[in-house]
Amino acid sequence: LNTFAYAQKTTDISAVSEKTLNSILEKNRTYSAQGKVADYIPELAKMEAGAVALSVVEKNGKIFNVGDVHKKFTMQSISKIIALMIAVSEKGEANVFDKMGYFGTDRPFNSYINLETAGKPLNPMMNAGAILTTSLISGDGEKPFLKVLEMVRYMTKNSAIDYNKSVYESEKSTGHRNRGMFYLMKNNGLISGNEDQLDNYFKQCSIELTAEDLAKIGYFFANQCVRFDGDSTYKNAEMAKLIESQMLIAGMYEFSGEYARTVGLPSKSGVGGGITVSVPGKMGIGVFSPALDTHGNSLAGYHMILDLVKQYGLSIF
């Protein structure tokens, strides 16, 4: 219900047009030259730094796409909101958040300091909490990953979506910091399974999609877990509220406070260069540009979102 209260504050969005979106994209294209493509996962370093795409799905399900909309990229940390939804629907919110906090952060996405100080992750958006979240999804072997994949396919109504095996292998063979967190949490009694569970996290991060797919995911959480075409199989206002609140306070990591101040919308970034944005009760936005800022968030993506929010008065504040 609150999501609709937010919606009333926004201005009329019927004016969304491809022309306006194009000018926002062109104005911000230059930021892609100022950021840096992620290379700590070697395979990601191969991405084309200059790619830029912007997609919007309006309330009525109408889709606008501009820029490199056919370019695929890996969703990386954006997969964390899907895994959280599945873990909470299976285990219940109390059981999931008994093992981690609802806290915001002043730390980068791969910080694990809290595993030592508090004995558990800060939140499910940073890597530690996300690895733990995925381990809470039921099923042996890659079953938990397949649930995440199926949910992404459902939300986007795109059954062709799969994961990028090269990116997966690349992270699996170099992701020792995440592996370290996995074993610290096993040591703390938070994780009970074997490394298949970590592989599921790496696989979900490697799910490959487009900016339009991200806009549809943003739309889903903006609209009480109702899909862009109106399908309400998973309708759940409380779930949407939980996911959106985590996106708002930690979805952009240590940049989340400044992002909330300037953009004011629940959003989730990934080091593949994507950001998915939920405009509560209204639309979903997906952006892609792989050159990142120092926090691991898409630089041109952030600036496109900022302009879109200003143009259409979308902030929830």
Enumerate the active-site residues: 77, 80, 201, 253, 271
From 91-99, 132-140, 242-250, 263-271, span contacting ligand DON (CB under 6 A): 263-271
Q: Taking CB under 6 A as the rule, does residue 205 contact ligand DON?
A: yes
Q: Taking CB under 6 A as the rule, does residue 134 contact ligand DON?
A: no
In 126-273 the beta strands, taken as DSSP E runs, fall at: 162-163, 207-209, 267-269
CA distance 4 to 27: 31
CA distance 243 to 277: 12
Report the residue from 10, 32, 76, 256 that binds ligand DON according to the rule CB under 6 A. 76
- How many chain residues bind ligand DON (CB under 6 A)? 13
Q: Taking CB under 6 A as the rule, does residue 208 contact ligand DON?
A: no
Binding residues for substrate: 77, 127, 171, 178, 201, 253, 271
Q: Taking CB under 6 A as the rule, does residue 266 contact ligand DON?
A: no
User: Quick one: 167 or 316, whose CB is closer to ligand DON?
Assistant: 167
Q: How many helices (DSSP H) and strands (DSSP E) are in the chain?
A: 14, 10
CA distance 244 to 268: 9
Q: Are 18 and 66 in contact (CB under 8 A)?
A: yes
User: Quick one: 171 or 199, whose CB is closer to ligand DON?
Assistant: 171
Instruction: Give, in order, the Cα–Cα distances in Å from 294 to each of 41, 94, 232, 255.
Output: 16, 34, 38, 10
Q: Taking CB under 6 A as the rule, does residue 77 contact ligand DON?
A: yes
Q: Taking CB under 6 A as the rule, does residue 171 contact ligand DON?
A: yes
Q: Taking CB under 6 A as the rule, does residue 135 contact ligand DON?
A: no
Q: Taking CB under 6 A as the rule, does residue 244 contact ligand DON?
A: no
Shortest approach of ligand DON to residue 184 CB, angstroms? 15
* Structure tokens given for 215: 């806009």
Q: Taking CB under 6 A as the rule, does residue 278 contact ligand DON?
A: no
Question: DSSP letters along 51-92, please?
Answer: --EEEEE-TTS-EEEEESTT--EE-GGGHHHHHHHHHHHHH-
CA distance 176 to 142: 20
Residue with tokens 């910080």: 111
Contact map string, positions 111 to 130, toward ligand DON, x by CB under 6 A? ----------------x---
Q: Taking CB under 6 A as the rule, does residue 296 contact ligand DON?
A: yes
DSSP 8-state secondary structure symbol assigned to residue 206: T
Shortest approach of ligand DON to residue 5 CB, angstroms? 30
Contacts with ligand DON, residue ranges (CB under 6 A): 76-77, 109-110, 127, 171, 178, 205, 269-271, 296-297
